[in-house]
Amino acid sequence: MTAPFLGSLSTGAFVTLSLVLGFLFGFFLERAGFSSALKLTAQFYFKDFAVLKVMFTAIVTAMLGLAWFAALGWLDLSQVYIPPSFIWPQIAGGLLLGAGFIVGGYCPGTSVAAAAVGKIDALFFIAGIFAGIFLFGAGVPHFAAFNVSGSLGPLTLPMLFNVNTGAVVFLVVLVAVGAFWASEKSEGVWHLFGRTYGTNSQGKA
């Protein structure tokens, strides 16, 4: 049998597995410090790139795992679900999510982790998420056509650039290494600035 094989799980086993993985995801988010809005937004000031490092590491690890498992015949990539791409609404959604991240200090996942450890601001952020969901649902009839504009279907980078999967994997790893190097340099500049002018990592005297 080759993965994915979740279809072979019973409903109870699937729900249990989902709960366990969700708990672990939230636990490690919190342990990484991602329940702090100050730490999360520090990346936008080029002070602390922990978010980029952790998330990019997760992406690269998953990508390499998928690539190697497929090469070894342990995973059938054709059976992995790829959500369809709708370029214009996804660009708009990404910009709105990014703006909300900067202003509110959280993304949807980190807001739940922060709320779980008692952060009051995260509760307001979650309330905003639900308000946004309600307003979106109420307004769907007015922009239903926009929601499916720019349809590209299920799309991956190898498909988009018509290149071998291995080449894309190699290039993404190079980008990750470059991003880690650049983030270390940026953090080093801020730490030097703090030592020179008597400020901490958050820019306070």
Q: What confidence tens digit (pLDDT) does each residue in 129-139 have?
A: 999 999 988 98
Q: What confidence tens digit (pLDDT) does each residue in 36-55 have?
A: 998 888 888 888 888 888 88
Angstrom distance (rounded) from CA 57 to CA 173: 10
Which pLDDT value is given to residue 205? 40
Amino acid identity of residue 41, one-letter, is: T
Angle between helices 87-104 and 120-147 (to 10 degrees): 160
Mean predicted confidence (pLDDT) in 22-47: 87
Q: What confidence tens digit (pLDDT) does each residue in 130-181 have?
A: 999 999 889 888 888 898 899 999 988 888 888 888 899 999 999 999 999 9
Q: Residue 193's pLDDT band (boundaries 50, 70, 90)?
A: low
The domain ranges of the chain are 8-197
Which pLDDT value is given to residue 26? 87
Which alpha helices (H) appear in 42-119, and where do they start and end? Answer: 50-71, 87-104, 108-116
**What percent of the chain shows pLDDT beyond 70?**
89
Please confirm whether the linkage preceding 4 is cis (ω < 30° from 0). yes
Angstrom distance (rounded) from CA 140 to CA 171: 38
Q: What confidence tens digit (pLDDT) does each residue in 51-104 have?
A: 888 888 989 999 999 889 888 888 888 888 888 999 999 999 999 988 988 888
**What spatial distance separates the first Cα and last Cα of the chain, rounded to whole Å?**
60
Q: Cα–chain-centroid distance for residue 129? A: 17
Q: Read off φ and ψ for residue 36, nearest 5 degrees.
A: -105, 120
Exposure b/e, 21-31, CB count within 10 A at least 16 = b: eeeeebeebbe
H/E stretch holding 84 reads: strand 84-86
Which pLDDT value is given to residue 46? 84
Look up the pTM and report it: 0.73
